[in-house]
A and B are shown apart, each in its own frame.
Chain A
Amino acid sequence: MEVMVDRENSFEDLEQFLTQLDWAPHDGNIDEAVSDSETACDPSMLDESCIQELELRALKEHLKAIVKDIHIAIEQLLSLCLLSFECLNTASSKDLCLASIEEAFFMPLWSALVTLFRKVNWEREQAFEESMKLYKDVSPGDVGGSFPYDFAVMELKLLFKHSCPQRKLECIVRALRQICVCAEEYRCLHEPESTPGTAAIGADDLLPILSFVALRCQCPQLVSECAALEEFIHEGYLIGEEGYCLTSMQSALAYVESLHTGEARLPAETLI
């Protein structure tokens, strides 16, 4: 009983969350917005950017509807599952059910889904790519010694091999853990005299390294993958390690996207 109530709430929350995602100037619904722009410029005057914007807006609406559909579908499958097997109605069994459902559910779906996310996040991916090009010459040599975070990059890249959000999330978690392990080894190696207590890294160190790892991943699609994960991460994971890792990943990506504008240059020496 409790379980069902919580789940329903999560959809309301999701809707609310998605509404917040809409960019501010176009608060109204899509029809209104469309008719507005139609009266504003007659069809012959519609320039390319105008059309692109309308297209993007339609795409966003479309994506929103699809995300909602997916949540409802998974919810229904879960309900059926719990209805059929009453013994599964405990917190941990429910998690297991959900995991198996999602595994099967997303398998045939993900590549199409991520294509849509990529269309919507096209500009962000472009920005990411720009930064990537800008920093492609930052070789391990430039930052001194060998690049110690290759394992983290590898872990992160594994994300593309999976089609289930939960599995993808695990890749991100492993990448972050790997960074922590590397950073610790690096410090122990290079600063054996380092102040006690500073050997464990906090977000001040983690985020710059993670940004660099994201750059080295050389894959703008990461932006869309993470945007999609944000929609499909389980509510229960939000404040846990998984939620923290995804949030950090999102922050690192946003930071990388901002790099090519020149406002925030990445000083190579702060990376390691």
Chain B
Amino acid sequence: MAAGGTGGNSGKTYSFKVVLLGEGCVGKTSLVLRYCENKFNDKHITTLQASFLTKKLNITGKRVNLAIWDTAGQERFHALGPIYYRDSNGAILVYDVTDEDSFQKVKNWVKELRKMLGNEICLCIVGNKIDLDKDRHVSVEEAESYAESVGAKHYHTSAKLNKGIEELFLDLCKRMMETAQAEERLKGNGASQAASSRRGVQIVDDEPQATPAGGCCSSG
């Protein structure tokens, strides 16, 4: 699981951690399953099933490893949230478009995330179950303007119809890459020097063992 890439002759591998937040029945499990396995109906998933999923992507020539952390939506586990989302690069906050309550929950999480992680975390607010649009209880305008007001992006998805999910993740990845690149530039020439904290962005140059002869490291 280490960020070190395998092979490849150039470029970097980004490792991003994304937390998935949302109340019990909003369909966040189906959403990630759809994305990572594209097996909405299949019962055979990875070892930790829908709780923890990984996905490898290639975006504009850069390799990206996504680790998607599901969190428990129940109120009684709420206090335990922070240890899940620390060091996250992105958060996907899911609500059910037919359930006003679940949208309120999303607002609470947004507040908490911004407070704990600041502006560096890329937020996605996702209205799921748009296949049930006739029962919609959260208006598109309200949701979108709220998202904009907190610097988040808003998406509409249907795990059932496999709508909007690819776009959501692709977009999020691009934004996380931009954030990481901006961070790199700030730090100078991209050497992952003095990361401010145990942040998940681990950028590893993986020139395969091109150790120059005698070029031994200055030991610490």
Contacts and interface: CB of A to CB of B under 8 A. Distances in A.
Interface of A: 1-10, 12-13, 16-17, 75-76, 79, 82-83, 86, 89-92, 95, 176-177, 180, 183-184, 188, 196-204, 206-208, 234-245, 247-248, 250-251, 254-255, 258, 264
B88 to A, nearest CB: 9
B56 to A, nearest CB: 13
A239 B67 contact: yes
Contact of A244 (B29, B33, B40, B51): B51
A108 B83 CA distance: 31
Nearest to A263: B76
Given A16-B197, A202-B70, A207 B77 contact: yes
Interface residues of B, number: 60
Interface in B23-51: 24, 28-30, 32-34, 40-41, 43, 45, 47-51
B49 A196 contact: no
Contact of A2 (B49, B76, B204): B204
Nearest to B80: A251
A177 B83 contact: no
B206 A91 contact: yes
Contacts of B51: 176, 180, 201-203, 206, 244, 248
A238 B219 contact: no
Given A75-B220, A244-B67, A6 B52 contact: no
Contacts of A204: 24, 29, 70, 72-74
A188 to B, nearest CB: 7
B198 A13 contact: yes
B217 A4 contact: yes
Most buried by B among A4, A16, A91, A235: A91
B219 A5 contact: no
A13 B197 contact: yes
Given A4-B220, A92-B4, A207-B72, A238 B45 contact: no
B219 A83 contact: yes
B205 interface: yes
A217 B54 CA distance: 29
Given A91-B204, A200-B50, A207-B72, A237 B77 contact: no
B217 A244 contact: no
A46 to B, nearest CB: 34
Contact of A238 (B48, B52, B200): B200
B180 to A, nearest CB: 14
A238 B32 CA distance: 20
Top 8 A-B pairs ranked by shortest CB distance?
A240-B1, A91-B4, A236-B2, A202-B29, A203-B70, A200-B49, A251-B80, A202-B50
Contacts of B95: none
Given A6-B192, A197-B29, A239-B15, A86 B70 contact: no
A111 B71 CA distance: 33
A184 B196 CA distance: 41
B33 A200 contact: yes
A247 B71 CA distance: 10
Interface in B156-210: 159, 191-195, 197-198, 200, 202, 204-206, 208-209
